[in-house]
Amino acid sequence: MAKKTIMLVCSAGMSTSLLVTKMQKASEVQGFDTDIFAVSASEADHHLENKEVDVLLLGPQVRFMKADFEKRLAPKGIPLEIINMADYGMMNGEKVLQQAFDLIEKNKNS
C-alpha cells in the first residue's frame, strides 16, 4: 500500500494530538506507511492547499462543520467522515486508523 496521508481536524488541533500518536503507533505495528497529523479547523484550508491528503476525519466536537468541509473537499475528491465518538473518547487509535483506511478504500471503489 502506498503512503496514506490522514488529516484530523478538531477545534484547536490539541485534543486530537494524543489520538494521532496512538494512530501512528497502530500504523507502525501493522506495517503501514502513513502521515497522520491534526490541525485546528482554522488551519485546515492551508494544509489542504499544501499537502496531498487522502482522507480527512473530523473530531466529534466539530461535527457541525461537516457540510462546510464536504463542499470544500468534493472538488478534490477527498473523503470525509466524523470520528466515531466512542473511539475518540477512548482514544482508540487502531479503530480510528481503520476508519480512515475503510473510507479511503470506499472512496477508491466509488
Question: From the CB of residue 57, how many other CB atoms can be counted at a distance below 10 Å?
Answer: 26
Q: Which of 10, 20, 78, 100 is catalytic?
A: 10
| Cα 64 to chain centroid, rounded | 16
pLDDT averaged over every residue in the chain? 93
In the chain, the percentage of residues whose pLDDT exceeds 70 is 97
Question: What mean pLDDT is predicted for residues 15-25?
Answer: 92
Q: What is the pTM of this model?
A: 0.94
pLDDT surpasses 70 at 79: yes
Question: What amino acid is encoded at 60 in this protein?
Answer: P
What is the reported pLDDT for 30? 94
Give, for 90, the enclosing helix (H) or strand (E).
Answer: none
In the chain the domains, ranked by start, together with CATH numbers, are: 4-109 (3.40.50.2300)
pLDDT surpasses 80 at 13: no
pLDDT surpasses 70 at 1: no
Tell me, yes or no, if 10 is annotated catalytic: yes
In the chain, % helix, strand, coil (3-state, to 5) comes to 55, 20, 25
